[in-house]
Chains A and B, each alone.
Chain A
Amino acid sequence: MSVFRNAGHLFRLAAVFVVGTVAFLVIRAAVVPRSFGEYGHYRGAAISEIASLPLHFAGHQTCETCHTDIAKMKSAGMHAHVNCEACHGPLEKHVKDPSIDPGKPDAAVLCVRCHAASAARPKWFPQVDPAQHSGGIACTTCHNPHNPVIAAGGSK
């Protein structure tokens, strides 16, 4: 015991650390979500929470079940692999209730979003300088959005 004589204050300091550590562990046990680490370094329950979020996109397969004509036309053209909702926007609401009119996309801003010439786009991707190419006329006057190549009979 004599070794520890006059070392009382050190035990007090150690006690502060022990209390701090215990408080930390208690808080940690209380606030770290139960499912943390279930699958990885995140909250396992997050997966089911995200899965139950409301849907916004229906997916092109769903559209194609009703709009068979357009699906057929599109699959024959250069836009075959462009998703319906990439142009029309999220339409899950319309799918649930087709009487909700989704309206038509505005070709004036839509097409240039992908086709305006830009050095950042891959070279193989078809690009035009809109001012030069159409001089302000809406793209859909000449191109059919669902089958855009005019020579392929896609004109409107």
Chain B
Amino acid sequence: MPGVEGYMYPNEVSLYWSVLIVLYPYITGLVAGAFILASLERIFHVEAVKPTYRLALLTALAFLLVAPLPLQLHLGHPERSYEMYLTPHRTSAMAMFGFVYLWYLMAVLVVEIWLDFRADIVALSQTTTGWRRLMYRILTLGSTDVSERALHIDERVGWFVTLIGIPSAFLLHGYVGFIFGSIKANPWWSSPLMPVVFIFSAMVSGIAAVMLVYMAMMRLRREPIDMRCVDKIAQYMMYIFVIDFSLEMLDLVHRIYEADESFRSLNFMVHTKLWFSQVILQICIGTIVPISLIALVQIVKFSEKWRKAIYVVSGSLTLIGVLAMRWNVVIGGQLFSKSFLGYTTYKIALVTREGLLVSIGLMILPLVILAVLVKILPPWPEKSAVSLPAPSVGD
């Protein structure tokens, strides 16, 4: 049979979970990571990252809105998906995702963004005209109270929402890791470390994404990049990345030392089918290189221009590395036979519903949504209420 080496059970030959299931944890990871970056400022008072606070929230929202799409496309019949809310299946982790998602979207992100932008929304509802005015008026919910006390209350409530938001972000993404980690029958997935590794890699990717989006937006707006902020973000990214990498290596060492009956088969897979995507792309190019680059910045004094270049390169490599990690988990877990005697191949389609083009579209869509969100709710504090950013991506 083409693409099959050794012995596969008939139901293992073609993969059920396609590249869309790779994107799904990737996108939710970006959400959780971006949110956690925002909460750094709010809860832990890291003043330096403040310029990205609102941008991080909007980024999280943009990606969160797209997060269910890969699932919808993969499963088909989106018109039935709402039924998971109507008749919840309480013993199915997958079925409960709908609630985790809704909670995170409505109770955390939307509320936090609303509270934070409320003063701007009120101001915009008074300075704009036409349909925009109507939109902002609806967004104010009919209350124009932006007195100092009201804003103070918003600040307190927002703080509280963020506080709830952090465990919620962990829940949202830990859940995704849980789905894989709890699949007993698959030795590549079944590991209690899975949710933890997923959360840490999520933070890394989300922080990298916000950093890049921030730098790109500043570029587009022809404004100076706040280097103090970017330096700090890169530093945090590196710290968390080191933890993430250690956890992944811990998992690896544990597997090698334990060497259970699946080990030979998985070891062979890592040395053949996954060699490029796991060892080269994920571990070398996507982890060691960015960590080393940022570590270098901490030691050697680089000029601003160089630091920017290093951050763009290491941020991009990080995003690629985390995507490769998702790929290796999702696709890797389906390439070997549960008989441990054979391997199959995943060939990504191009124009099908679960193909490459759709995936690329799904990765661009959040950026388009973000561009629209930035137009509606300008995250730049200085001129927010007065003028809207003129040159913006997409739209």
List residues of chain A with CB under 8 Å of any chain B CB: 5-10, 12-13, 16-17, 24, 27-28, 31-32, 36-37, 41, 120
CB nearest neighbor in B for A37:
B87
A sample of 21 cross-chain residue pairs with beta-carbon separation below 8 angstroms, ordered by A number, consists of: A6-B145, A6-B149, A6-B150, A7-B153, A8-B143, A8-B145, A9-B140, A9-B143, A10-B157, A12-B141, A13-B111, A13-B141, A16-B141, A24-B85, A28-B85, A28-B86, A31-B86, A36-B87, A37-B87, A41-B89, A120-B10
Report whether over half of chain A's contact residues are helix, strand or loop; otherwise say mixed: helix
Residues 1-56 of B at the A interface (beta carbon under 8 Å): 10
Partner of B87, one of A27, A32, A120: A32
B153 x A6 contact (CB < 8 A): yes
A9 x B86 contact (CB < 8 A): no
Q: Tell me the complex Cα distance, A92–B372, Å.
A: 61
**Chain B neighbourhood of A31, CB < 8 A:** 86
Indicate the size class of the contact surface on chain B.
Answer: 10 to 19
Q: A6-B145, A17-B106 are in contact. List 10 more A-B contacts (CB 8 A).
A: A6-B149, A6-B153, A8-B143, A9-B118, A9-B141, A12-B142, A12-B143, A13-B111, A31-B86, A120-B10
What 4 A-B pairs have minimum CB-CB distances, sorted nearest first?
A: A9-B143, A6-B150, A12-B141, A6-B149
* Nearest CB of chain A from residue B103's CB, rounded to whole Å: 12
Q: Tell me the complex Cα distance, A5–B87, Å.
A: 40
A41 x B87 contact (CB < 8 A): yes
Q: Is B245 located at the chain interface by the 8 A CB criterion?
A: no
* Nearest CB of chain A from residue B307's CB, rounded to whole Å: 41
Q: Is B272 located at the chain interface by the 8 A CB criterion?
A: no
List residues of chain B with CB under 8 Å of any chain A CB: 10, 85-87, 89, 106, 111, 114, 118, 140-143, 145, 147, 149-150, 153, 157
Partner of B114, one of A13, A32, A41, A120: A13
Q: Tell me the complex Cα distance, A8–B149, Å.
A: 11
B150 x A7 contact (CB < 8 A): yes
Partner of A32, one of B86, B111, B147, B149: B86
Report whether over half of chain B's contact residues are helix, strand or loop; otherwise say mixed: helix
Q: Tell me the complex Cα distance, A119–B153, Å.
A: 72
Q: Tell me the complex Cα distance, A153–B381, Å.
A: 95
Q: Tell me the complex Cα distance, A9–B87, Å.
A: 33
**Chain B neighbourhood of A13, CB < 8 A:** 111, 114, 141
* Nearest CB of chain B from residue A49's CB, rounded to whole Å: 17
* Nearest CB of chain A from residue B253's CB, rounded to whole Å: 39
**Chain A neighbourhood of B106, CB < 8 A:** 17
Select the residue from A6, A16, A27, A28 with max chain B CB neighbours within 10 A.
A6
* Nearest CB of chain A from residue B55's CB, rounded to whole Å: 23
Q: Tell me the complex Cα distance, A9–B118, Å.
A: 10
A10 x B85 contact (CB < 8 A): no
Q: Tell me the complex Cα distance, A12–B115, Å.
A: 12
A5 x B85 contact (CB < 8 A): no
CB nearest neighbor in A for B157:
A10
**Chain B neighbourhood of A28, CB < 8 A:** 85-86
* Nearest CB of chain A from residue B374's CB, rounded to whole Å: 23
Select the residue from A5, A10, A24, A28 with max chain B CB neighbours within 10 A.
A10
Q: Tell me the complex Cα distance, A7–B143, Å.
A: 10
CB nearest neighbor in A for B89:
A41
Partner of A9, one of B10, B85, B89, B145: B145
* Nearest CB of chain A from residue B76's CB, rounded to whole Å: 20
**Chain B neighbourhood of A27, CB < 8 A:** 86
**Chain B neighbourhood of A12, CB < 8 A:** 141-143
* Nearest CB of chain B from residue A41's CB, rounded to whole Å: 6
CB nearest neighbor in B for A15:
B141
**Chain B neighbourhood of A36, CB < 8 A:** 87
**Chain A neighbourhood of B86, CB < 8 A:** 27-28, 31-32
* Nearest CB of chain B from residue A101's CB, rounded to whole Å: 38
Q: Tell me the complex Cα distance, A151–B361, Å.
A: 66
**Chain A neighbourhood of B85, CB < 8 A:** 24, 28
Q: Tell me the complex Cα distance, A32–B147, Å.
A: 45
CB nearest neighbor in B for A29:
B86
CB nearest neighbor in B for A43:
B87
CB nearest neighbor in B for A41:
B89
Q: Tell me the complex Cα distance, A21–B111, Å.
A: 15
Q: Tell me the complex Cα distance, A38–B18, Å.
A: 36
Q: Tell me the complex Cα distance, A17–B85, Å.
A: 16
* Nearest CB of chain B from residue A52's CB, rounded to whole Å: 23
* Nearest CB of chain A from residue B119's CB, rounded to whole Å: 11
* Nearest CB of chain A from residue B78's CB, rounded to whole Å: 16
Q: Tell me the complex Cα distance, A36–B87, Å.
A: 9
Q: Tell me the complex Cα distance, A8–B141, Å.
A: 10
**Chain A neighbourhood of B150, CB < 8 A:** 6-7, 9
Q: Tell me the complex Cα distance, A10–B156, Å.
A: 12
Q: Tell me the complex Cα distance, A6–B150, Å.
A: 5
